Amino acid sequence: MKFLVVFLFTVIGFQAFSQAELNEYKYIIVPQKFDGFKKENQFQTSTLIKYFFVQNGFNTVYDNALPQDLNGDRCLGLMVNLADDSSLFSTKLAIVLKDCQGNEVYRTGQGSSKSKDYKLAYREAISKAFNSLNGFTHEYTPKESGNEPVTISFKDDVKNLAVDDTTKEKAIVEVKEELPMAPSKPSEAVNEVKESVAQINNETQDEVSKAGDTRLTLYAQQTPTGYQLVDTTPSIQFYLRKTSVEGVYLASNKSKNGLVFLKDNQWVFEYYEGNKHIKEVLLIKF
């Protein structure tokens, strides 16, 4: 009996923790057609699943109608998958949520039905699977990415800023079309960075100040989903998230979403502003 009580508390605690993780994602993405089905919305599976997620307070969209911010950063949402374990005599399935890297974030309990009518069977099984989310209401809470420690050493790079006028004129972003830079996101400076700044002599600091921009280099710091790019302030300028293509990242800052990729030995940030196609060159140190 004691073991049963401990087991139940463990399961309930794990379930609550998993549900809390869902608050870190802004959207639920429902496919128009699930794997294994021949038709879109077969047996009304897509419609039903979207309905039940909306009932639990999730901002739910179909994969062919993504909002602008999600289209620019797929890591804002979780993709719905069906873990279908149906047999000839019964329909059994669980709802699985995966992040932009394909990692499983949440799985409901298995719902089942013995109805011979497939449409009714899937309706019953999906409804039972969603019992796992009973009592849970989604409240989007972005991850605190800014709390990750910044451990960079940039003394030599700062000294090199004053080598010549050409170097001074190079900016972090070489804007090919004149647009104002978005304000950087705040980030706490760690002690190592403060000590490095203190060691830079006054002459070098004056020369950097005359150059007009101390953010000539962006430093890539690894995160669970890719990198964050920080300047020498230090403050976070960009978030990069890995894609399935090597050297290509989903990129975002405070006001823009796009792609960062390597082209002709230069890192390029490409995005749209309205109907305007813009490319900016970034100086990144990995």
77-136 confidence digits (pLDDT tens): 999 999 999 888 899 999 999 999 899 999 999 999 999 999 999 999 999 999 988 878
Q: Residue 120 — φ and ψ, nearest 5°? A: -70, -40
**CA 119/CA 127 separation, integer angstroms:** 12
Q: What is the pLDDT along the chain (286 residues), one digit of tens a residue?
A: 444 433 333 344 444 445 668 888 999 999 999 998 999 999 999 999 999 999 888 999 999 989 999 988 999 999 999 999 988 889 999 999 999 989 999 999 999 999 999 999 999 999 999 998 887 888 888 876 544 444 444 444 444 444 444 444 443 344 344 344 444 444 444 454 445 444 443 444 444 344 344 445 888 888 888 899 888 777 888 899 998 888 899 999 888 899 999 988 889 989 888 888 999 899 998 8
Residue 105 CA, chain-centre distance (Å), reads 13
DSSP annotation string for 194-241: HHHHHHS-HHHHHHHHHHT-S---EEEEEETTEEEEE-SS--EEEEEE
| Domain limits, the chain | 2-133, 145-285
Q: Do 32 and 64 contact (CB within 8 A), yes or no?
A: yes
Q: Tell me what pLDDT residue 140 has.
A: 87
Among 139, 101, 143, smallest CA distance to 236 is for 143
Residue 136 CA, chain-centre distance (Å), reads 22
Q: What H or E segment, with its residue span, contains residue 276?
A: strand 276-282
Q: Tell me what pLDDT residue 179 has.
A: 40
Q: Do 255 and 269 contact (CB within 8 A), yes or no?
A: no
Give the CATH number of domain 2-133. 3.40.50
Tokens 């196609």, located at residue: 277
- Collapsing DSSP states into helix, strand and coil, what is residue 181? coil
Give all strands (DSSP E) within 51-158, no chain letters: 59-62, 77-84, 91-98, 104-107, 111-113
The three-point CA angle 6-56-122 to 5° equals: 85
Q: Tell me what pLDDT residue 90 has.
A: 93
Residue 251, CA atoms < 13 Å, CB-side half-sphere: 23
CA-based radius of gyration for the chain = 24
Among 245, 244, 199, 190, smallest CA distance to 219 is for 190
